[in-house]
A and B are shown apart, each in its own frame.
Chain A
Amino acid sequence: MTALTMPTRPGHDAGLRPVPWRRMAWVTWRQHRAALGGVAVFLGALAVYLWLTGLQIHHAYAADCHPASSLACTINFTGRYAVNVNIIRAFLQVVPALIGAFAGAPVLARELETGTFRFAWTQGFGRWRWALAKLVLLAVVVAAAAGAFTVLFSWYASPFFAAGYAIPFATDLFDLLGVAFAAWTLAAFAIGVLAGMVIRRVVPAIAATLAAYAGLALATTLWLREHYMRPLLTTKTNVPGSAWVVSQWYTKGGKYAFGAHGSGIVNAVSQLCHGGNSGLSPAQCLTQHGYTAWTSYQPGSRFWPFQWIEGSWLLALSVLLIATTIWMVRRRAA
């Protein structure tokens, strides 16, 4: 039987060079411009707020906080704007998680959920190159946006550091400064991407991303971050203000007695110091009774080394998660 045979047009498939990487730039933009736009609007709105409020804060600091211990500073600066920075620092904790969940999780989850992967992964570009290009592009953009935001936030917060109201090492400020904010955002994105690939449904993937990020962030702030470098120990009572006090406790006779907070010290003070009526501070009183006060702390000078450590392991984790995702794309059976 006669059969119609091969196409007459030659095509350009001699040599079969891969489709150029740069083609994915438009594809990524067009498919994810809503998500990218959302991130831009979200961070942009916050940025505008920080800029406007920051101008006021800097103005007030310049006017009243020389010296920083003056009463005028306390009233016109700290008293008026401390609430502001406290709300902001609390709110910004969730921003990386939101970006990671809403920009990262749907990238693959939506393709799998709607079935469009059957289109995307049968095009000439090839599925793992498609995933690599898209994820790397999005990761870089998201991390860069977060990094830019950190610069603005640092400027916004600097009067508070100068006035001694807060220190960069504070638990809920450390991860908004330096490279940490960008690194956390990148990690959240990577978590979201992998969650989307594993779970294959958008809404559950978003939920899983938020949960996983929360777990990781809590574990880091409550436990891991203290251990980046061994804390310094001192018995001096005046630890520099810029230091991050990790913990304090009392010993007697070389043995641990009780921590600086909690029922142990309360009982000791009430027993030995007549409930504070002796005219001495609890610390002086305890010292008189033979207790030694210990403080473990991280000096303020370690801020940047800690930033690099945290940034590095978050970056490594992000790379690992994204690489795993791409490996799964490459291997996935429909």
Chain B
Amino acid sequence: MSIGKGDGAQAGGTGASPASAGGGTPGGGPRGPGSRIEFRLDATSGVPTYLQLVHQVEHALRLGYLKRGDQLPKVRDVVASLAINPNTVLKAYRDLEVKGLAAGRPGQGTFIQATLGQVALPELAGLHKSLLGWLTTADSAGLDEDGIVALFTSALRDFYERRGGTGDRRGAASGETEGVA
């Protein structure tokens, strides 16, 4: 486990760097060199903060905003723009490390190491088509949109529970016992 500064948070020199903290720059905040994405926070979603960060990185990977070798935003910059606990950012980055998506380089930052398993385009098209078929069936059975969503969510949960919970979507109760500060 990296302790403290191993994540590119600036080792404090004499005085803070003049980069504004609590940024007021339009567009959401300070941009360190090399951070290609910006995090945002949805306070009302009920999803824990660190998970939101993890999801945003995974989403960015899927859509191509992030590629192998890109640097994730510095912990300090994320903290300054979102006003969240630095330990939360560290936790999110560690989560990505555990999943093998990112790796920290001491003194430099956290960098993307791998991409999410890409599904080939023809496969994606096939999945899309079979999904539409299922939806047609569900619709003719009488389920409305919310019913479909609820059914799907429940089945999704069951599926991952049976699988054993890597990439668990359960939020803060992730099943790890946190013992050491």
Contacts and interface: CB of A to CB of B under 8 A. Distances in A.
Interface in B127-172: none
Interface residues of B, number: 17
Interface stretch (A5-13, A69-77, A190-198, A217-225): A5-13
A1 B12 contact: no
Contact of A8 (B11, B90, B94): B11
Interface in B48-99: 86-87, 90-91, 94
Contacts of A2: 1-4, 87, 90-91, 94
A3 B12 contact: no
Interface string A1-26: 11111011100000000000000000
B181 interface: yes
A1 to B, nearest CB: 5
Interface size class of A (residues with CB under 8 A): under 10
Contacts of B86: 4
Contacts of B178: 1
Contact of A3 (B9, B87, B94): B87
By DSSP majority rule, is chain A's interface helix, strand, loop, or mixed?
A: loop
A78 to B, nearest CB: 73
* Of listed A1, A2, A3, A5, residue having the most chain B CB within 10 A: A2
Given A1-B178, A1-B181, A7 B87 contact: no
Contacts of A7: 12
B49 to A, nearest CB: 14
A8 B12 contact: yes
Nearest to B93: A2
B180 interface: yes
21 contacts: A1-B91, A1-B178, A1-B181, A2-B1, A2-B2, A2-B87, A2-B90, A2-B94, A3-B3, A3-B87, A3-B181, A4-B4, A4-B5, A4-B9, A4-B87, A5-B3, A5-B4, A7-B12, A8-B5, A8-B11, A9-B12
Interface of B: 1-5, 9, 11-12, 14, 86-87, 90-91, 94, 178, 180-181
